[in-house]
Structure 1
């Protein structure tokens, strides 16, 4: 295909294509693919994607725009799994479009006639997660729906008790198709005992990695223009970018990924006084965004307090005054482990530099590495 969009890949799969190879392609890869296709049994049925599904993807799937190599791999996997019941684990940083990929799989595939039920596990307290997932007081939970797709966002935030219940349910589940996503490294969480190994392997049947925007910068101009079109459809005046504005947008690293780009473009569509968005307009909004992030850094303590309230309130309430509590040491261990691992990562494993970065001596750092069971890579 010369179009290289998600609908190109999906239509190819629906019309019985063995695989999807976007242009430009490597001749050796093409030869190998043809040889495998000749040996494969014929497919039994062919179904075109209906116009409603195409419209839903076009309207809701803007972050799935892109013709980069990284996005072509995303499209290939979506095309291969959309008409199966296989569980899909979508991995990627915040803002990369994980839910939109899940919706694309649902809308283009065999589950499209059922409901798409999405639960953001990172935004729910533990008790509410159990209620919404498994039901309560005779009311069914999300896992009991028949047909359609159940999308569990940030599955790495699922509490231990709910992990156990989900494993039991998945052993004999025959209801909705399950798609999960995470910004975390679940494999590492399994090694640390923070995520059930059996649940990980039940979820990780097909892995779909959503690339960060900084690794597909060639898609940025098309995305930015698509977001301007969305703003116009919402009633704002038509605008465009001049070359210097696009160059600056291309040079930025986008830590918030596609979501951050979309927010910037929508702000520019509202606030830029002229029909052409200039370099100065983009600079102004990027500086404003940086200032907001700096001002919001004072909320870090509140964020920590919220996380602690969610994860350990039950332990604190159930602990008796006359018994020795391990809550404090457990929380400290759980905070120290990722902090030390991050310091080792940014210093390429240099313990002297990592200790200096953390404000402790090397022997203390080594002792903590051993005590916390941090693997030295």
Structure 2
């Protein structure tokens, strides 16, 4: 679990931050500025430093140099704006991750925690944080397996050689291919993908090399193939292991000679392209079985990159979830939040579909619980790998009737009883009764019940969860 160090002389703000960090299940340690400067010089194991301001004449430069020694692997974030930031030397300014505005919200604080986690992993791997953020920024995750992928990509991105990307389905092979193209000398050219397993064998040659009018039945006009469309850029051959053997022979010839002709044509065309291939199959085993040409394999496999399955990099789950939630929001879906227990459960899932399976799950949750909070019990059953930490929230009406008095029909009072009453309990009883009546009137359609109560749907869902009300 990540830890946070807070250095601030504002006690009220420290209490606010402590409350927020406790809510996010983050461990934290607090210092005043004098106490921090006088503390022992041993390194402190923290991922994030939140740096408040002091009335004492302490320079920001001195503080950051102290932090370099005592908290060498932590990211530093200022609480509010520091005027001195612009005056810092460049090497110290680069150590600041950013500014947390005051007041802040939970999402802003959680975002800083995620970014600090990435910085720590990058520092541990010997990668400069600013360079890592700029290079292959659309590749999410900084676990050790993903850092190895990034390092391999950095070595080959600028080289105009063929690349073979291997890995299970759904691991993001096309994302890697697009990143390699975007950071190559051919980035101004087109990126043209083709799935060799999705096109019938008798049409694959035409798709790759194009055809002239009348070359075969149905060829009513000339048509360029993917090799022509990719001129000056990158051709991505996805699922190359599904390519038929006769087509492998023709592809090998083009890769060797860098020339090709359209089907039914006589004009020789240049193949000025870079080829990136990908497969989820074991090509070496296919070579032994006579299902894949060995010479084509070595022509394509100039530089191999192996994508790790998601189950081997579950420490990337928090940042992957954040990225996927942002993507579904951009697609017009509502947001969704996951409880720490739900993330813990997902970390124990085997993920046979890898990141693609995770992306589908997030879309499903965004539809089921728009702008809601997802715990273990809200996850689909196949994703529940830990016990529900708070089963009392999910008691059924039958359980409630056996363990607590019925409050769905709370009595209305014209006057205060002489003995007094528990106002909070009485109001909750009335509220619960009205929610039950609204659900009954709306045939358990939550959105319609929310309209009857003139509240937002998400507010009603939270109140139903609070009272343990289930739709019948």
TM-score by length of 1: 0.60
TM-superposed CA distance for 1:228, in Å, is: 1.0
Q: Give the aligned partner of residue 244 of structure 2.
A: 159
Q: Give the aligned partner of residue 321 of structure 2.
A: 224
Compare relative contact order (CA 8 Å, sep 6+) and give the higher one, 1 or 2: 1
Structure whose residues are more often strand by fraction:
2
CA 1:2 to 1:82, structure 2 compared with 1: closer, same or farther past 3 Å? farther
- Aligned counterpart in structure 2 of residue 116 of structure 1, from 187, 191, 196: 191
CA 1:2 to 1:202, structure 2 compared with 1: closer, same or farther past 3 Å? farther
Structure 1 unpaired stretches of 5+: 4-20, 31-47, 288-377
Note if 1:175 corresponds to 2:265. Answer: no
C-alpha separation between the residues in 1 aligned to 2:194 and 2:315? 32
CA 1:245 to 1:176, structure 2 compared with 1: closer, same or farther past 3 Å? same
Which is further off, 167-176 or 243-252? 167-176
Consecutive aligned runs of 4 or more in structure 1 exceeding 6 Å deviation: none
Note if 1:128 corresponds to 2:203. Answer: yes
Contact 2:208 2:225 in 1 (8 A): yes
C-alpha separation between the residues in 2 aligned to 1:2 and 1:154? 41
C-alpha separation between the residues in 1 aligned to 2:248 and 2:73? 44
**Equivalent runs, 1:275-294 vs 2, <5 Å:** 275-284=372-381, 286=383
Which is further off, 234-243 or 245-254? 234-243
3-state SS, counterpart of residue 86 of structure 1: coil
Q: Give the aligned partner of residue 23 of structure 1.
A: 123
TM-superposed CA distance for 1:2, in Å, is: 7.3
C-alpha separation between the residues in 2 aligned to 1:273 and 1:83? 43
- Aligned counterpart in structure 2 of residue 245 of structure 1, from 319, 332, 342: 342
- Aligned counterpart in structure 2 of residue 140 of structure 1, from 197, 216, 224: 224
Structure 2 unpaired stretches of 5+: 1-71, 75-120, 213-221, 259-270, 385-472
Contact 1:2 1:22 in 2 (8 A): no
The superposition leaves residues 283-314 of structure 1 with CA deviations (integer Å, 9 ceiling, x where unpaired) of 44748xxxxxxxxxxxxxxxxxxxxxxxxxxx
3-state SS, counterpart of residue 179 of structure 1: strand
Which is further off, 132-141 or 153-162? 132-141
Contact 2:193 2:236 in 1 (8 A): yes
TM-score by length of 2: 0.48
TM-superposed CA distance for 1:107, in Å, is: 1.2
Q: Give the aligned partner of residue 283 of structure 2.
A: 186
Q: Give the aligned partner of residue 60 of structure 2.
A: none
Structure whose residues are more often helix by fraction:
1
CA 1:191 to 1:252, structure 2 compared with 1: closer, same or farther past 3 Å? same
Aligned residues: 243
TM-superposed CA distance for 1:185, in Å, is: 0.6
